[in-house]
Structure 1
Amino acid sequence: MVGSWMQSVATRVGSVVTGVGWGTAIAVVVAFVIATVAGWSEFLAVAYAGVIVLLVAVLYLVGRNAFTITLDLPHSRVVVGDNAVARITIANPTRHRVFGVKAEVPVGSALSEVALPGLAGGAVFDHEFTVPTARRGMLPVGPVRTVRADPIGLVRREVSWTGRHELFVHPRIIAIPSTSTGLIRDLEGNPTRDITSSDVSFHALREYTAGDERRFIHWKSTAKTGTYMVRQFEETRRSHLVIALSLADRDYASDDEFEMAVSVAGSLGVRAIRDVRNVSVVVGITTPEFAKRKLFGVRALSTLSPGRLLDDLALVEREASSLDLSEVARVTADQVAGLSVAFLICGSTPTAGELRAASTRYPPGVEVVAVVCDPEAVPGLRRVSGLSVLTIGYLEDLRKSLARAAKT
């Protein structure tokens, strides 16, 4: 029992003494040893001075925190560039005055320091501070911790008062009217050239063969010909929209192009989700440095709601070892079934030949649209066999380009 008590004391002491404090304590011990062995009074004076400094530092830790602190983040999701604030509330529930303390609030990789004032009994103090939202991502805010420390930095005691909040900084998106997505008209399903024995789009009649379902027998034609005749149908297809965003470094000439590409993926994905379309938003996976060979695969982002999709898009980053546009197209063509429309989103570096090669990864009948994000280019639309290329210089050009593509 004595051993556990000593271990507890050692743990508490170790949690409040800083590196400078331990160095000072060691220096005091060394000074005492030298003064005793060599009889040097100067070292004895240094040792006593060190003891006094340590005792004074310990006095800064004396006292209890008779207040409560809460952290409030009014909005957990904001758009990049928007104002975001967090609020710290300190309350003194006692009847006695409490002295001010210094509080620290981690915000992402930065540390915000707040000087909380002393409060009379029953008083409440609110302090608001700005959370930076200049860059897309997820910012952890908190926990708020109070700090008691001496001026020299020999001892330091931290007390955490709140949990950690997460602020998602979403990419900027624009609203795309449903009429702009005329590339994927399918109110009741577009017929294909594939013939099936069971669907809703009537095609022709043929003679009955073993295995055909009797409910598709056309009795009037059977009565006229004297031979069982069954209906044939054209297979219809609900549009499965895939939005493939390249994360490969080589597919972008700058960070501005990549940020625009993320915004394009978000704008298209949110519109599709709100239109209750069958949509998949995918990005290429990254090959770890320790991997012996390149990994081929895509990661599907959440499409349960617009907010969940934008949460995932807030976290994507350019990667040197990520799959390029052609590889992403090949993997999505193999792994995503029932595709009818594919958006390939990239920067300005892929050539026209590379875009064409990426589009050929998809089977015939899939409408492929490449969205090239290039702030230096003039917006435009060009078509080659099986591929539409939309070049946009600003995010707002996407709405106009899609509307133009829908009319042609």
Structure 2
Amino acid sequence: MATEALGSQAAAQDRTAGFGRLALTALRAVGRVLGRVFGVVRPVAWVLIAATITLWIAGQSLGWWELTVTAVVIGAALLLCLLFLIGRTAYDVSLDLNRTRVVVGERAVGALTLSNTGTRAILPSRVVLPVGNGRGVFDVHRLSPGEQAEELFAIPTSRRAVVKVGPVSVVRGDPLGLFERVHRRDEPVDLFVHPRTVLFDGQSLGFLRDLEGLPATDLSPDDVSFHALREYQAGDDLRHVHWKSTARTGHIMVRQYEETRRSHFVIGLSTSPADYRDDDEFELAVSVAGSLGLRALRDSQRVEVRVQERALPAATGKQFLDALSGLEHSRARAGGIVELAGSVAASLALASVVVLVCGTKVDANDLRTACSRLPFGARVLAVVVSPAGTAPSLRRIGDADVITVGALEQLPLALRKVLA
């Protein structure tokens, strides 16, 4: 008996759970339908619907036929506008950007192709193409089966950014703008607006180009730059025993080496808003960092780029410029140029060349502190940007060369002064 009772209870629980799942599915279906229904009604239409109901009730209650007639007229207009939503919008949409990477100031040209691959004609409609925070609207005429329409467009670029183009929306609506049915087609495309960069000849501080690296003052038990011989100590690798000297002196002698530094080019770009006077300074700093990084990559150097709290990918020029396109100011709590230099020293202790890029709000004391935190033995260069008509200049702060540039085109001349 107990077993039968337990079985009945379990069956009842299963039925309850089944009814619950069915009810949840039904509610979701109703929600989707209501969402589609309410999604086509514009705010103005809701006002007119409320006015129609109010006028009808008032006309019937008060016996004023004028109010009833007004309600009928508004209701008829609403019904007529609803008829404009009838029709297919099953376009085959193709969004093609001629170039997905442009430089600030260039225009990105693209084409939007809509094809009717069905067996029935598609009535005229509007196509909306979102571009960043704006949008372009195209009127598409009636398309017969197998017919297609092509719309060309150009996207002006005034600042560095990653602009999302799309997704394309096909809009079917009435002339009064009371109802609107939107169908999204295709996938969005990212348009990378790269910062301006400048090309210059020679090596960008890339004086470490020999295959074996540049010998440093740090001693190592295993490297390629021979330094001296010393007596054997417990734990030394027997492969480095110098047998001729051992036989001559009677003591086991081992080779000792100097550590060599590879050509490791590091750029520290401050993104702290406190380090810049305005957005123009920050944009110039990004362009300077981009120019230096591209020159180092062309010199086949290993390039690392650090900003506050993270590293930017810089394995290739395209990858580096793509990362710079979406770069924004960091949070205030991330710190400024001093904290950035500390992060570089902690994570890139074997850097051979370090370039710090910042704005004019960084004073000499902070710059001196930042440079002192960088890896020992690395050559340090600081670039201060000041786009207020400043002439290029060179000064020394501690062991670092500090150059100031007022325009991107001044960077090659300023670097020649450093390397002179």
CA drift at 1:6: 6.1
- The alpha-carbon distance between structure 1 residues 82 and 128, as it changes in their structure 2 partners (threshold 3 A), is same
How much does 1:406 deviate? 2.4
Do the aligned residues in 2 keep the contact of 1:344 with 1:371 (CA within 8 Å)?
A: yes
Distance 2:31 2:143 in 1: 37
Structure 1 residue 127 displacement after superposition: 1.2
Partner of 1:392: 405
% identical equivalent positions: 42
Asked if 1:78 is matched to 2:119, the reply is: no
Aligned to 1:379: 392
Cα distance 1:167–1:363, how it changes in 2: closer, same or farther (>3 A)? Answer: closer
Following TM superposition, by how much is the alpha carbon of 1:371 offset from its aligned partner in structure 2, in angstroms?
Answer: 0.6
Partners of 1:401 and 1:188 in 2: CA distance: 29
Q: CA deviation at 1:271?
A: 2.7
Does the CA-based 8 Å contact 1:372-1:390 persist in structure 2? yes
**Aligned residue for 1:406?**
419
What pairs up with 1:205-244 in 2 under 5 angstroms? 205-244=229-268
Q: Contact 1:250–1:320 (CA<8 Å) still a contact in 2?
A: no
Deviations 1:187-212 (A, max 9, x none): 42111111222111111111222222
How many angstroms apart in 1 are the aligned matches of 2:133 and 2:366? 39
CA contact (8 A) 2:391 2:406 kept: yes
Instruction: From 338, 341, 344, give the equivalent of 1:326.
Output: 338
Alignment CA distance shift 1:355-1:194 (3 Å): same
For 1:283-298, what aligned pairs fall within 5 Å after superposition?
A: 283-284=307-308, 298=309
Letter in 1 for 2:385: C
Deviations 1:202-232 (A, max 9, x none): 1111122222221111111112112211111
Report SS of the residue matched to 1:389: strand
The reply to whether residue 343 of structure 1 matches residue 355 of structure 2 is yes
Q: Distance in 2 between matches of 1:168 and 1:399?
A: 26
Greater CA deviation, 221-230 or 3-12? 3-12
TM-score normalized by the length of structure 2: 0.87
Contact 1:252/1:348, CA 8 A, preserved across alignment: yes
Q: TM-score, normalised by structure 1?
A: 0.89
Gap change, CA 1:184 and 1:324, over 3 Å in 2: farther
Aligned length: 394
Q: For residues 207 and 18 of structure 1, do their structure 2 counterparts lie closer, same or farther at Cα, with a shift above 3 Å needed? A: same
Partners of 2:99 and 2:328 in 1: how far apart?
A: 23
Is 1:114 aligned with 2:126? no
Change (3 A) 1:227 1:253: same
Q: What is residue 227 of structure 2 aligned with on the other side?
A: 203
Deviation of 1:125 (Å): 2.4
Cα deviation, residue 331, structure 1 = 2.2
Q: Which deviates the most, 388-397 or 163-172?
A: 388-397
Correspondence for 1:295: none
8 Å CA contact 2:89, 2:183 repeated in 1: no
Which residue is 2:8 aligned to?
none
Which residue does the alignment assign to 2:176?
Answer: 152
Which consecutive unaligned segments of at least 5 residues does structure 2 have?
1-21
Q: Offset of 1:155 from its aligned partner? A: 0.9
The one of 317, 321, 324 equivalent to 2:328 is: 317
Please tell me the residue identity of whatever aligns with 2:72: Y
Measured after TM superposition, the shift of residue 62 of structure 1 is: 1.4
Q: Offset at 1:37?
A: 2.2
Query: Match for 1:262 among 286, 291, 294?
Result: 286
With over 3 angstroms needed to count, the CA separation of the structure-2 counterparts of 1:44 and 1:305, relative to structure 1, is same
Deviates more, 1:85-94 or 1:126-135: 85-94
Find the counterpart in structure 2 of residue 308 from structure 1: 319
Residue in structure 1 matching 2:382, options 350, 360, 370:
370
Q: Distance in 1 between matches of 2:324 and 2:90?
A: 43
Per the alignment, in what secondary structure is the counterpart of residue 25 of structure 1?
Answer: helix
Q: Which letter does structure 2 place at the counterpart of 1:339?
A: A
CA distance in 2, matches of 1:39, 1:401: 88
Check 1:251–1:183 CA distance in 2 against 1; reply closer, same or farther (3 A cut): farther
Q: List gaps (5 residues or longer) in structure 1.
A: 285-297
SS in 2 for 1:63: coil
Note the aligned Cα RMSD (angstroms).
2.3
Give the 3 Å change call, closer, same or farther, for CA 49–370 of structure 1 in structure 2: same
